[in-house]
Amino acid sequence: MSTERCLPPPSAITGPELLPDTEDRKKTECLALVIAWSAREPHRVGEIALLLPEIPVHILGRDPASASDAAMRMNSINPGSEVTPNGDMLPELDMQGEPVVFFRQRPQALGSAFGPESGSCQLLGDSLSRRQLAIRVGRESLLVRNIGRCRLSVSGQVVREATVRPGDTLYLRNQLLLYCTNRPLIMPALKAYPRDRVPAFGEPDREGMIGESPTIWKLRDRLAACAKTGYHVLVVGESGSGKELAAQAVHHLSVRAHRKLIADNIAAIPPSLAAALLFGNKKNFPNPGMEERAGLLGSANGSSLFLDEIGDMPEEVQPMFLRVTERNGEYFRLGEESKLQRSDFRLIGATNRPEQMRYELKRRFQREIRVPGVNSRKEDIPLLIRHLLKQQAATDDVEASRFIAGGYPRVHPLLVEQLLHHTYKTHVSEIMFLLGQAMAESDHDIILPLGSGIKPETSARVARTEQQRRTSPRPLPTIEEVKRALDEHKGHITRTANSLDISRDQLNRLIRREGLQVPQSRKSERSVPG
């Protein structure tokens, strides 16, 4: 199929200056679908489709562009309806729509092609229909209707139609898994992160960080900006979120990168040895035969000193260490109290409990960076799964190697769905633990879903059927909003209801209760007296 029939990626054609001259012009984000798993196209995991609210209906499928032509021909014969493979009649809103385009959204000015050839509206899949899903964009949700032959599940529940919100998953059986999220219309340009360090899409950067979400790109840029300042930096984040990788990035992106990063976990050192480890000692002190040691401070001269869990530094050592930071790196080695030493080091501390740090210690840091956990960037989880499994297989792990085929891990989509819905406490390390558990439970060459170790947390995001959608409590639109929507859609009840994110019945009741006038151009679509 010619790529000219597909829409170019929205980031290539949509900017603030191109948005309609309305309040929507101020909007910088939209709902999006991310490919979390694909049976036929594993290399496309991480690609994203931005669902612009300006487009009434989006069509997802194997070849939605050419299929739209056929649908229009059908509509000319039988206006306003189409028969699905299930024999159901669909309203006219399913007949027209723009193809959903998946592409690799990245920050601006990275040299990536953002033209039509960089995105595709085609999805390979033996069971996918040319027009599989019809998607209507609401204010904070999507109305998704299955119009193809492949069975659809939303967050674990088989549905024909459902309201989808950020955090929900859409699973087309054995073909495709999608994750719903919010994404910016245009990714901001990187201000500090070096262009020569940008990794290939979905691959780890030089520090080993994985991700293509706006959250992880913002972190990369923030790390690069802090690295250039030369200030002491405190890295804050939950256990397993990647604080050590962030600390390495601060060092490797700084002018001190030519020197080795000196690192240690200060909390794991016995208090009796902490002073000697930090400051070093002269020869034969405190015991005869003791080797001379430079200590961490001496070794970090001209480089960076990374102290993990710095908030747990022994109380006896903290006053001595604080004096070093106050005196521009001046200190005495143990047993050499008459000989002043000086170390030109940059301090990088990390802690998961910043609120418990002593004020005197915390104020020594001029910059603080918070490393987000995977709960705030779940669209990166499929990429993390792929990387972790490939990394483990590269270490000659026989168990992990058996699940790699053609360079891509063989993972059951329901396991990916489980991991997407899980709430993490130890983040990346927890993903690795759960993957290991799943591998241990799998007897074949594919990693199967976990049986009892983890359950999708779908109670808060249960897929809503049409009946649920009609009865679910939500704030009703104002009368002015209803009037504007009726005028905008020329009295078309279905389109008006979907744009307001309410059901047809709710809209009809509002019209009758308030005595609203429905535009006469679509009289057949007007409400009937109830």
Q: Would you say residue 402 has pLDDT above 90?
A: no
Tell me if 178 sits within 8 A of 416, measured CB to CB. no
Confidence of residue 159 (pLDDT cuts 50, 70, 90): very high
pLDDT above 70: residue 79: no
Strand locations in 43-137 (E): 48-51, 58-60, 82-83, 89-90, 98-99, 133-137
**What percentage of the chain exceeds 70 in pLDDT?**
80
Q: Are 65 and 5 in contact (CB under 8 A)?
A: yes
Question: Could you tell me the pLDDT band of residue 14, with boundaries at 50, 70 and 90?
Answer: very low
Q: How far apart are CA 120 and CA 56, in angstroms?
A: 20
Q: Are the CB atoms for 304 and 226 separated by under 8 Å? A: no
Quote the pLDDT of residue 118. 62
pLDDT computed for residue 316 by the predictor = 81
Print burial letters for 47-62: b (CB count within 10 Å at least 16), e (below 16). Answer: bbbbbbbebebbbbbb
Where residue 358 falls among pLDDT bands split at 50, 70, 90?
confident
Q: What pLDDT, on the 0 to 100 scale, is given for residue 497?
A: 77
Between 377 and 75, where is the model more confident? 377
State the average pLDDT over residues 390-402.
Answer: 82
Range in 248-252, 300-304, 329-333, 506-510 the model is least confident about: 506-510
Question: What pLDDT, on a 0 to 100 scale, did the predictor assign at position 192?
Answer: 94
**Residue 304 phi, psi dihedral angles, 5° rounding:** -115, 145
Q: What is residue 263's three-state secondary structure?
A: strand
The verdict on pTM exceeding 0.85 is: no
Instruction: Give 313's pLDDT tier (boundaries 50, 70, 90).
Output: confident
Check if the beta carbon of residue 46 is closer than 8 Å to that of residue 202: yes
pLDDT band per the 50, 70, 90 thresholds, residue 228: very high
The side-by-side arrangement of strands in the sheet containing 176-184 is: 48-51, 29-38, 176-184, 169-172, 152-154, 157-159
Mean pLDDT (whole number) for 322-342: 86
Q: What is the DSSP string of 157-182?
A: EEESEEEE-TT-EEEETTTEEEEEEE
Which residues on neighbouring strands pair with residue 152, listed in sequence order?
159, 172
> What is residue 495's predicted lDDT score, i.e. its pLDDT?
76
Q: Are 153 and 159 in contact (CB under 8 A)?
A: yes
Angle between helix 381-394 and helix 428-441 axes, rounded to 10 deg: 70
- Cβ count within 10 A of residue 33: 29
Please say if the pLDDT value at position 453 is more than 60. no
523 has a pLDDT exceeding 50:
no
- pLDDT-derived band of residue 269, with 50, 70 and 90 as boundaries? confident
Beta bridge partners of 135: 58, 144
Phi, psi of 129 (to 5 degrees): -85, 165
Q: Which residue has better confidence, 458 or 184?
A: 184
Q: What is the DSSP letter of 240?
A: T
Residue 74 has pLDDT above 70, yes or no: no
**Coil, strand or helix: which one is 507?**
helix
Residue 109 to residue 191: CA distance in whole angstroms: 10
Instruction: Give me the pLDDT at residue 520, please.
Output: 67
Sequence-ordered list of residues with C-beta below 8 angstroms from that of 205, at least 6 positions apart, any chain:
197, 198, 199, 220, 249
Mean pLDDT for the chain overall: 81
Please give the Cα distance from 492 to 487 (Å, whole number).
9
Check residue 114 and give its pLDDT.
Answer: 42
Residue 151 has pLDDT above 90, yes or no: yes
pLDDT of 88 higher than 50: no
Lowest mean pLDDT among 174-183, 209-218, 272-281, 450-459: 450-459
**Can you tell me the distance from the alpha carbon of 105 to that of 386, in angstroms, rounded to the nearest whole number?**
19
Residue with tokens 């005196």: 327
**Could you tell me if 382 and 211 are in contact, meaning their C-beta atoms sit under 8 angstroms apart?**
no
Taking Cα atoms as reference points, which of 233, 319, 343 lies closest to residue 271? Answer: 319
Structural domains for the chain: 3-190 (2.60.200.20), 214-370 (3.40.50.300), 473-525 (no CATH)
Q: Cα(231)–Cα(346) distance, rounded to whole angstroms?
A: 7
User: 59: closest CA among 180, 142, 126, 159?
Assistant: 142
Task: Over range 277-305, report the average pLDDT.
Answer: 84
* pLDDT tens by residue, 484-517: 888 877 888 877 876 777 777 778 888 888 888 8
Query: Is the model's pLDDT at 19 over the cut of 50?
Result: no
Q: Is 359 exposed, middle or buried (0-12, 13-18, 19+ CB in 10 A)?
A: exposed
pLDDT at position 407 is: 83
The pLDDT, as a whole number, for residue 27 is: 67
Query: Is the pLDDT score of 82 beyond 70?
Result: no
DSSP-based helix, strand, coil % in the chain, nearest 5: 35, 20, 45
* Stronger pLDDT, 268 or 424, i.e. the higher one: 424
Return the higher-pLDDT residue of 493 and 95: 493
